[in-house]
């Protein structure tokens, strides 16, 4: 037997082992296993109903799996939930914000939920707001923010306790080009600094340009996994959209809807 590679021996940022979940007798996730490395952006793609959001919610500890297990930096989400969640941040597609608060007040509130000392949280909140170009809006209430500003504030809230793994469910939906670029740049910098990101998206161009690896699921199972180049080579196609269509068996009209075109 050959010696394990460094990638095989390092602790995964995220490891899923044979995850299962059914609702009303219908399987939403069926035997899903995958690994995400530290410092990697991993895109989870699939048609509507493929099990993406259910998978993300199980990783976040919001939905209990019927079988299998999820590990975050070696900590079981089920058996060692506190340690697993301490290094995790989850940003849903429609995050809850408190409209009557200002951006610094919102971040102070979130930091308090994580048990951060106010003296530590205040400079971190200022750093994040400046980084995401929200500092000039610090006096305004969140209810007056645009969708892009709200999405960036929600990202700041996810990062306030300096997590090592980010779970993002459709983070760019509804954003204009400028806000989308800022969020993408922020995620790239986060990954370059050693963080790991798992995101779901209907925008295939985002996955193609940003993800080191892509997992394509259908029927709650992993159909294919690899770099964008590996998926193109496997399917003999020239674009990720064509590869996605080939691997999922969707016809062209359905693929356009899934791709958000």
Q: Which residues of the chain have pLDDT under 70?
A: 1-9, 250-261
> Is 1 contained in some domain?
no
Inter-CA distances, 194 with 155, 162, 163, 209, Å? 17, 11, 11, 19
Instruction: Specify the pLDDT at position 48.
Output: 85
Q: Which residue has the tokens 């971040």?
A: 107
Nearest C-alpha neighbor of 71 from the set 10, 29, 26:
10
Give the tokens for residue 86. 């301490």
Instruction: Specify the pLDDT at position 79.
Output: 93
Q: How far apart are CA 261 and CA 253, in angstroms?
A: 10
Q: Which domain holds residue 221?
A: 6-87+164-258
Instruction: Specify the pLDDT at position 211.
Output: 92
Instruction: Specify the pLDDT at position 209.
Output: 86
Number of H helices, E strands in the chain: 11, 10
> Is 134 contained in some domain?
yes
In degrees and rounded to multiples of 5, residue 228 shows phi and psi of -55, -40
User: Where does residue 129 rank: exposed (0-12), middle (13-18), buried (19+ CB within 10 A)?
Assistant: buried
Nearest C-alpha neighbor of 156 from the set 181, 184, 178, 130:
130
Total count of domains within the chain: 2
CATH of residue 25's domain is: 3.40.50.300
Instruction: Specify the pLDDT at position 250.
Output: 66
Q: Is residue 57 a contact partner of residue 63, using CB atoms and an 8 Å limit?
A: yes
> Is 199 contained in some domain?
yes
Bridge-partner residues for 215, per DSSP? Answer: 44, 225
Which 3 state secondary structure label does DSSP give 46?
Answer: coil
Both 105 and 193 in one domain: the answer is no
Both 118 and 240 in one domain: the answer is no
Both 40 and 64 in one domain: the answer is yes
Which 3 state secondary structure label does DSSP give 201?
Answer: coil
Instruction: Specify the pLDDT at position 122.
Output: 93
Instruction: Specify the pLDDT at position 181.
Output: 87
Beta strands (DSSP E) in the chain are 14-23, 26-36, 41-45, 67-72, 75-76, 88-91, 165-169, 196-200, 213-218, 221-226
> Is 79 contained in some domain?
yes
Instruction: Specify the pLDDT at position 20.
Output: 96
Instruction: Specify the pLDDT at position 6.
Output: 45
Instruction: Specify the pLDDT at position 145.
Output: 94
Instruction: Specify the pLDDT at position 260.
Output: 43
Q: What is the pLDDT of residues 172-231, one digit of tens each?
A: 877 788 888 888 888 999 999 999 999 998 888 888 888 999 999 988 999 999 999 999
Both 107 and 232 in one domain: the answer is no
């Amino acid at each position: 037997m050959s010696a394990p590679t460094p990638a095989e021996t390092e602790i995964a940022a995220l490891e899923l082992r044979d995850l299962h979940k059914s609702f009303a007798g219908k399987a939403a996730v069926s035997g899903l296993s995958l690994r995400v490395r530290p410092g990697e952006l991993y895109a989870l793609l699939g048609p509507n109903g493929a099990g993406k959001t259910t998978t993300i919610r199980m990783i976040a500890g919001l939905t209990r799996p019927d079988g299998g297990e999820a590990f975050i930096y070696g900590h079981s989400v089920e058996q060692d939930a506190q340690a697993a969640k301490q290094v995790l941040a989850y940003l849903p597609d429609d995050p809850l914000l408190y409209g009557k608060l200002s951006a610094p007040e919102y971040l102070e509130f979130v930091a308090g939920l994580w048990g951060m000392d106010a003296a530590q949280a205040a400079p971190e909140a200022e750093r994040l707001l400046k980084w995401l170009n929200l500092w000039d809006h610090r006096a305004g209430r969140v209810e007056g923010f645009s969708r892009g500003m709200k999405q960036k504030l929600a990202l700041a809230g996810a990062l306030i306790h300096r997590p090592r793994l980010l779970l993002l469910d459709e983070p760019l939906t509804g954003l204009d080009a400028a806000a989308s670029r800022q969020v993408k740049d922020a995620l790239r910098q986060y990954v370059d600094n050693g963080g790991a990101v798992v995101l779901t998206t209907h925008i295939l161009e985002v996955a193609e340009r940003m993800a080191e690896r892509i997992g394509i699921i259908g029927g709650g199972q992993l159909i294919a996994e690899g770099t964008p180049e590996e998926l193109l080579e496997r399917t003999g196609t020239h674009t990720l959209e064509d590869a996605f269509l080939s691997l999922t068996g969707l016809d062209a009209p359905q693929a356009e809807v899934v791709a958000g075109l």
